[in-house]
Structure 1
Amino acid sequence: VEMKIEGFKVMTAALAADDILNIRLQEMKNANGTRNMNFFIPSEADARLVAVEIFGGKTIYIRAPVHQIPQE
């Protein structure tokens, strides 16, 4: 997943549950303005190994290794 953000900085990124990643953002111009974003991590991915990378404070990359998906 790639997401571009403007006017916010990332405060924290942590698992809120076994399959939900919570990213907390703070407004750059208003220290009291915060946003929480929750991302569902599908069962095919290992949520314990999620990597969150922030580049330049504007782009967030979320990566998780995917287990082999069974063929039907």
Structure 2
Amino acid sequence: MVQKRTRIFFNNGLIDELFLTIEPISFGEGLPLHNASQGERTASLVSVEKINAQGTVVLHYVYANAS
């Protein structure tokens, strides 16, 4: 399962940046990005880009403590 693999990479500090797409639509419940028991990671917002007229934005984060 892709989500399980992604979570393993994230929790082990193997992901150094994240592009998060925000849609101006409610989809219901989502999945957490990481398990809080794995410790915290600090991310810095690098950029925000509006990509269409409907208001979709892409947030680009870089993690400070990436391996």
Q: Normalising to structure 1: TM-score of the pair?
A: 0.33
More strand by share: 1
| TM-score, normalisation: structure 2 | 0.35
Q: As a proportion of its length, which structure holds more helix?
A: 2
